[in-house]
């Protein structure tokens, strides 16, 4: 029992000395032999810096269709505008044909696609993403339904299903948006419809 305690104690002292050495080299403490208290001061400074960095940055995931009209338009892109609207300092962009269309597909197709989708979302969240935004759009070729109203309703249903599973499985807030064609710009999307 004593040897285990001794080994843990030696290891923890070694870790403290190594951490202290690197903090001195990086200029986090004012003097070399400050002892335990300057190490605690350095730790407090580091925690405070981390909190400040977390306040400054908001990272998100935007899940959308591969349609180039969403990503390229005169004077900017709609996906970037959505990122700014949500206050993302940076975002992970995940594009799939039809956006979240695969949620309405057969179970076999969902299982094949499942690994790629969930793994990419988990990686994004492990890299600091705090929120997921789903962006679907009018006139989607992946859905290719003759009736635009029916297509819009199916997309909204798929977004609701995706929102349910993403928020349940990854425990992150999910917001949903629907982009409509703008009659003034040729082939461009402009108007966001926020779906609660």
Sketch the domain layout of the chain as residue ranges: 2-54, 57-195
When pLDDT is averaged across residues 176-190 and rounded to a whole number, the result is 73
Four-residue CA torsion sign, 61, 67, 71, 73: negative
d(CA 187, CA 137): 12
Q: Which of 188, 178, 184 is nearest to 72 (CA)?
A: 188
The overall pTM is greater than 0.75 = no
Asked if residues 161 and 104 have their Cβ atoms less than 8 Å apart, the reply is yes
Q: Which of 141, 148, 137, 147 is nearest to 188 (CA)?
A: 137
For residue 101 the two structure tokens come to 């269309």
Alpha helix stretches (DSSP H) within the chain: 2-25, 35-56, 68-71, 78-85, 107-126, 148-170
Give the lowest-confidence range in 42-51, 105-114, 130-139, 175-184.
Answer: 105-114
pLDDT surpassing 60 at residue 38? yes
pLDDT of residue 44: 79
pLDDT of residue 75: 52
pLDDT surpassing 80 at residue 36? no
d(CA 136, CA 158): 10
The listed CATH number (3.40.1050, 3.30.70, 3.30.200, 1.10.3470) that belongs to domain 57-195:
3.40.1050
> How are beta strands 129-137 and 174-181 bridged, if at all?
parallel
Residue whose tokens read 């425990």: 171
pLDDT of residue 8: 44
pLDDT of residue 112: 65
pLDDT band, residue 71 (cuts 50/70/90) = confident
Q: Which of 184, 185, 163 is nearest to 174 (CA)?
A: 163
Q: Which of 83, 80, 28 is nearest to 57 (CA)?
A: 83
73: DSSP letter: B
Instruction: Please give the share of the chain, as a percent, with pLDDT higher than 70.
Output: 64
d(CA 126, CA 118): 12
């Amino acid at each position: 029992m004593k040897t285990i305690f001794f080994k843990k104690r030696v290891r923890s002292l070694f870790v403290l000395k190594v951490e202290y050495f690197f903090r001195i080299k990086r200029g986090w403490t004012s003097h070399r032999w400050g002892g335990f208290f300057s190490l605690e001061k350095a730790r407090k400074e580091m925690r405070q810096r981390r909190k400040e960095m977390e306040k400054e940055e908001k990272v998100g995931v935007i899940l959308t269709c591969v349609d180039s009209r969403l990503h390229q338009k005169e004077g900017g892109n709609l996906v970037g505008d959505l990122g700014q609207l949500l206050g993302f300092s940076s975002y992970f962009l995940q594009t799939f044909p039809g956006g979240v269309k695969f949620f309405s597909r057969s179970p076999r197709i969902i299982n094949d696609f499942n690994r790629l989708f969930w793994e990419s979302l988990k990686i994004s969240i492990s890299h600091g993403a705090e929120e997921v935004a789903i962006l679907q759009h009018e006139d989607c070729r992946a859905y290719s339904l003759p009736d635009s109203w029916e297509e819009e309703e199916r997309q909204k249903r798929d977004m609701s299903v995706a929102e349910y599973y993403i928020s349940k499985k990854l425990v992150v807030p999910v917001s949903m948006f629907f982009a409509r064609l703008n009659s003034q710009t040729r082939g461009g999307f402009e108007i966001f419809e926020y779906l609660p």
